[in-house]
Amino acid sequence: MAEKEVLLTKEGLSRLESELEHLKTVKRREVADRIKQALAFGDISENSEYDDAKNEQAFIESRIAKLEKMLRNARLISEEDIQSGVVGLGSRVKLRDLEYNDEFEYMIVSSAEADPGEAKISDESPVGKALMGKKPGDIIEVEVPAGVVRYQIIAVNGRQ
């Protein structure tokens, strides 16, 4: 089965590469030291420090494998991939909430680099899906747990 291509912005690719490097060089060493220390306590059958360190080691190794797979299948979003004035991956979209008249801006990214805290939403999220292919002036409706929200697209810019 072919692995899914992971589309990334230059910033997203850099962030994932940095995280992978940190996990491999820093976190692996830290957890190995914790395991070594816990083993020095003797009996590991009831050694919570050892169990915690082994669990963290499993998490780190799983994350490393996931990042390596994503980076193996990564493709950078190029400037040619971003259509001016049309929402797509890499676009910055300024929206107005039609109920509350609030304005905000999102960057549309792949799920691999989505971070709502940094206003980066996935093209697979409900809002991201609704925005894809739309233009300034378009109104979208998105079903959320509280009901339906309506947004008007104010502006669409390429990567900045």
Q: Is the pLDDT of residue 148 over 80?
A: yes
Note whether residue 12 is domain-resident: yes
The whole-number pLDDT of residue 83 equals: 66
* CATH code, domain carrying 31: 1.10.287.180
Determine the angle formed by the axes of helices 28-40 and 48-72, rounding to 10 degrees. 160
Is residue 24 within 8 Å of residue 64, measured between CB atoms? yes
The whole-number pLDDT of residue 155 equals: 93
Q: How far apart are CA 47 and CA 41, in angstroms?
A: 8
- Global pTM reads 0.73
- Residues 90 and 64 placed together within one structural domain of the fold: no
- Residues 70 and 97 placed together within one structural domain of the fold: no
The whole-number pLDDT of residue 1 equals: 53
The pLDDT tens digits of the residues spanning 99-140 come to: 999 999 999 999 888 999 999 999 999 999 999 999 999 999
- Residues 85 and 153 placed together within one structural domain of the fold: yes
Q: Is the pLDDT of residue 158 over 70?
A: no
- Residues 70 and 86 placed together within one structural domain of the fold: no
Q: Provide the residue range defining the domain that includes 142.
A: 80-157
Helix, strand or coil, per DSSP, at residue 140: strand
The pLDDT tens digits of the residues spanning 54-88 come to: 999 999 999 999 999 999 998 887 766 666 789 99
- E strands, 11-124, where? 74-76, 92-97, 103-109, 120-122
The whole-number pLDDT of residue 104 equals: 92
The pLDDT tens digits of the residues spanning 21-48 come to: 999 999 999 999 998 988 887 777 777 8
CA separation (Å) from 73 to 11, 16, 69, 98? 16, 13, 6, 39
CA separation (Å) from 160 to 77, 103, 137? 13, 19, 21
Q: How many domains does the chain have?
A: 2
- Residues 133 and 93 placed together within one structural domain of the fold: yes
Is residue 6 within 8 Å of residue 112, measured between CB atoms? yes
